[in-house]
Structure 1
Amino acid sequence: MPRIGMLTPSSNTVLEPVTYRLLSGAEEVTAHFSRLPVTAISLAEEQSGQFSVARMSAAAELLRDAAVDVVVWNGTAGSWLGLDYDRQVCDALSQVCGVPATTSTLALHDAFRAFGVRRLGLVTPYTGDVTARIAETYAAEGVEVVADERLEITDNFSFGEVPEQRLVEMIGAAAPGAQAVALVCTNLRGAFPAAELEPELGIPVLDSVSVTLWKALDLLGGRPLDRGSVLLSGSTRAALKEICALLRAATGSDRTTVRLDLPSQRLGVDLAAAEDTGPGVAAIQHDRSLDQRALNTVRWLEEHRKTLVQPHFRADPRPPQALIAAYGVRAQLLAPIEIDGAMVGWISVHSLTERDWAPAEIRAAEAAASRVSTLLER
C-alpha cells in the first residue's frame, strides 16, 4: 500500500482533514504527517527562518520511520522564497527519506505547465508585500499574475478560519482574464469550492492542497481522482505536454498540440489538452472559438484515418482562416489518435512558414499519436 509522507506547518488545521477527504475512494493510498514550527507569514527574516532546510530535514526523519514512498513539503513558502529554495528542500527530503520528493510550490508550477497557464489569477491570505514577492517568483517562471485577491493576514492559524464562501468570492474576483486561478496557501479551505467552481468559470482552479496531493500521487505513478481538474487530468496533461515537447523538437516546428475527446477526464477537442510552442510563438491552447469537429481538416482525418500532410494551404482540405490570420500557421501535419477504432482526437504540428515535411517528421507525428493512444489505453 503506497504511503505519502507530508511535512506540515504546525499551525495548519486544514490540509490534513482536507487531504483525507480528497483521498476518500482511494483507500489503497495513505497519507502520514509530520509537523514543524510555523506560526506567522511575513517577509521578516526571523519568520523566513521557520522554513530552514535543517528544520525540514529533522521533521522528515520522523516520516522516514514510517517507510513512506514519497515525501512532500506541504507548504507554499517557496512561492516567495524562490523555487531554488524549494529545490534544495526537495534534495534534502529525498536524501533523508530515500524516496522522491516535491513541494506545494513546485507542484503548482508543474500544474501551470501541464495546463499551459501563462496568465494567472492569484488568491492568498497574505499581505501585499508577500503577494508581490509571489508574483515576482511566478513571473520569473513565465507565469504572469493578472489579478490578485488577498486577505492581508499574517497569523497562519487564522488562515484556516477563513470561511469557504469568502474564498468563493475571491476566486470569482481573480478569474476574469486569467487562464487559471491558484489558491496559494495550504491552510485555506479551498479544495472543494475550487473543484465546484471550475465548470462555472471554465478554467482550472488550482488549490494548493489539491495540487500537492496530485503531485504526490503523480510521483507514485498517477491515480486520477474526481476532485477537480488537477486531480482528475493533471497527470494525463503532464504526459501529453511532454509528448508535445518531444514532437516539436523532433520536427523543428513552431507549435505542437494534442486535442482529445476524453469525457472521463473532462477533456474536449475544442480546447487543446496540451501544447508546446517555440520562443515567441503565440499559444493556441486556451482558444475555444472554433468548433473543431466541424473543420474541413478534421473531417478529412475522420474519413481517411491517416496523417494529413500540408506543406501549404493552397489545396483542399483547407484549415480555418483563423489559424492562418490569427496564429500565422502556413503548414501543418495532423495525425489522428484512435482507440478501439474510434478517432478520439489528433496531434497537430504547426509551422509558421511553408515547408516540405520530411518523411522522418511525418513518422515522428505518427509515433507521437501512437504514444498518446497507448497512454490513454493505460
Structure 2
Amino acid sequence: MDVSFLGGPLQQRGVGIVAPFDFALDRELWRWVPDDVSLHLTRTPFVPVEVSLDLARLVSEHETLREAVRALCAVAPEAVAYACTSGSFVGGTAGEKAMVSAMEQAGEIPSLTTSGAMLAALQEIDARRIALVTPYTKSVTDSLEDFLGEAGIEITGRSYLGLTREIWRVPYRDVVDMAREAVVGAPDALFISCTNLPTYDVIPQLEAELRMPVLSANQVTMWAALRGIGKEAVGPYQALLDPVARRGPAAMAPSPPAQASPPEPEAALAGAGTESGDPLEGTDLGYPPSGGDEWDSGGQPPV
C-alpha cells in the first residue's frame, strides 16, 4: 500500500527538560504540550540522598546542569527547562539566576527553571499574596517561603506533607486536602510545589472550589518553556493558560442581589414548596461546576 500521500509525521519543535534523577511524572509534563512540540528529557545522576535541602543542592550543581544541557544539545531544542522546584529555589533568587546563566552558557540555548517560571506565572496573573502547598519537610518548605519572600511574594497560609521519598505516589485527594487547609487569609492564588507531585487533573477542580487561580510546578514550567518558543501550553480551563478562565476569580466575588419586580401571584405559589440548600445554585462562577460527586471512589477527579 502506498502511503506516501500522508507526507510523514508532523514537523516537531523541541523543548529540552533537565529533571532530577527521581522524577517520575514524564507523562504529566507531556499533557500540557501541543502536538507539534516534542519534549527531550534527561536526568541528573543518581545520588543516594532523600528529598531534602541537601538533595536540592546536589541536583542543581552548575556542572551537573551544564553536562545535562550539553547532552540535550544533540537534539537541538529551542529552549531548555530545569524541572525541579526545590533545586531551583534552594539558592535563593540569586542562585536561581546563576543556574539559568550556567545552563545558557553551556548550550547557548534560552533556559529557565521551575522556580523562575513560578515567579513569572505569579506576575502574569498579578498574584502577590499566595497560599502554598508542598509535599516537602518543614525545612524545605521554609526555604521555598524564603525564596518567595525575596521576590516580594507574601504567604498567607501553607500546608506540607513532610515527605522525603516517592512523592509521585501522592494521590489527588491528599493534594486537595492540603489545598483546603492552606487557603486562609484571602490569597490571590494557590501554588502547589514540586514537579514530582501530580496536579494536572486536579487544577480545574480546585480552581472551581477555591475560586482562585491554582498554579503548580509542572504547569508553570511547561507554560514558561512553551511561551519561550512562541507556543501555548494546553490544558482544561486553567487560569494561567486560558484568558476566559482567568476572568473567573473576578466574577466569583459576591455580587449584590439584582433588583427584580415582585413575582406574579401564580409564580410565587409555584415556588413556595421549593428551597435550595446551595447558595451558589444557578450562579455562573466563571469556572466549571464542582461537587462532591465529581470525584470517584479512588479519590481521583475525572480526566
Normalising by structure 1, we get a TM-score of: 0.60
Q: Given the superposition, is the C-alpha separation of residues 13 and 84 from structure 1 closer, same or farther in structure 2, using an over 3 Å criterion? A: same
Corresponding residue for residue 82 of structure 2: 73
1:178 aligned counterpart, secondary structure:
coil
1:224 Cα deviation (Å)? 4.7
1:132 Cα deviation (Å)? 1.2
Say if 2:156 is the partner of 1:169: no
Q: Given the superposition, is the C-alpha separation of residues 72 and 145 from structure 1 closer, same or farther in structure 2, using an over 3 Å criterion? A: same
1:161 Cα deviation (Å)? 1.0
Structure 1 residues without counterparts, runs of 5 or longer: 234-264, 273-286, 292-378
Contact 1:64 1:96 in 2 (8 A): no
Aligned letter for 1:33? L
1:71 Cα deviation (Å)? 0.3
2:151 aligned to which of 138, 141, 144: 141
1:289 Cα deviation (Å)? 6.0
| Pairing 1:254-265 to 2, within 5 Å after superposition | 265=244
CA offsets 1:152-211 (integer angstroms, 9 cap, x no match): 1122xx111111111111112212322111111000011221232212211111110011
Q: 2-side partners of 1:125 and 1:82: how far apart?
A: 19
Q: 1-side partners of 2:188 and 2:22: how far apart?
A: 32
Q: Given the superposition, is the C-alpha separation of residues 268 and 105 from structure 1 closer, same or farther in structure 2, using an over 3 Å criterion? A: closer
Q: 1-side partners of 2:205 and 2:254: how far apart?
A: 24
2:53 aligned counterpart, secondary structure:
coil
Say if 2:245 is the partner of 1:266: yes
Say if 2:232 is the partner of 1:223: yes
Equivalent residues, number: 240
| Pairing 1:1-378 to 2, within 5 Å after superposition | 1-14=12-25, 16-23=26-33, 26-37=34-45, 39-44=49-54, 48-76=57-85, 77-155=87-165, 158-176=166-184, 177-227=186-236, 228-233=238-243, 265-268=244-247, 271=250, 288=253
What fraction of aligned residue pairs are identical, expressed as a percent?
25
1:114 Cα deviation (Å)? 1.0
Q: Given the superposition, is the C-alpha separation of residues 231 and 128 from structure 1 closer, same or farther in structure 2, using an over 3 Å criterion? A: same
Q: 2-side partners of 1:47 and 1:69: how far apart?
A: 26
Q: Given the superposition, is the C-alpha separation of residues 127 and 200 from structure 1 closer, same or farther in structure 2, using an over 3 Å criterion? A: same
1:222 Cα deviation (Å)? 3.5
Q: 2-side partners of 1:47 and 1:78: how far apart?
A: 8
Q: 1-side partners of 2:235 and 2:56: how far apart?
A: 36
Q: 2-side partners of 1:159 and 1:175: how far apart?
A: 22
RMSD: 2.2
Q: Given the superposition, is the C-alpha separation of residues 213 and 224 from structure 1 closer, same or farther in structure 2, using an over 3 Å criterion? A: closer
Give the structure with the larger strand fraction: 1
Contact 1:126 1:152 in 2 (8 A): yes
1:231 Cα deviation (Å)? 2.7
Aligned letter for 2:225? A
Contact 2:137 2:161 in 1 (8 A): yes
Q: 1-side partners of 2:78 and 2:183: how far apart?
A: 36
1:98 Cα deviation (Å)? 2.0
Contact 2:15 2:225 in 1 (8 A): yes
Contact 1:93 1:101 in 2 (8 A): yes
Q: Given the superposition, is the C-alpha separation of residues 67 and 152 from structure 1 closer, same or farther in structure 2, using an over 3 Å criterion? A: same
Contact 2:31 2:234 in 1 (8 A): no
Q: 1-side partners of 2:182 and 2:193: how far apart?
A: 13
1:72 aligned counterpart, secondary structure:
strand
Structure 2 residues without counterparts, runs of 5 or longer: 1-11, 257-303
Q: Given the superposition, is the C-alpha separation of residues 47 and 271 from structure 1 closer, same or farther in structure 2, using an over 3 Å criterion? A: closer
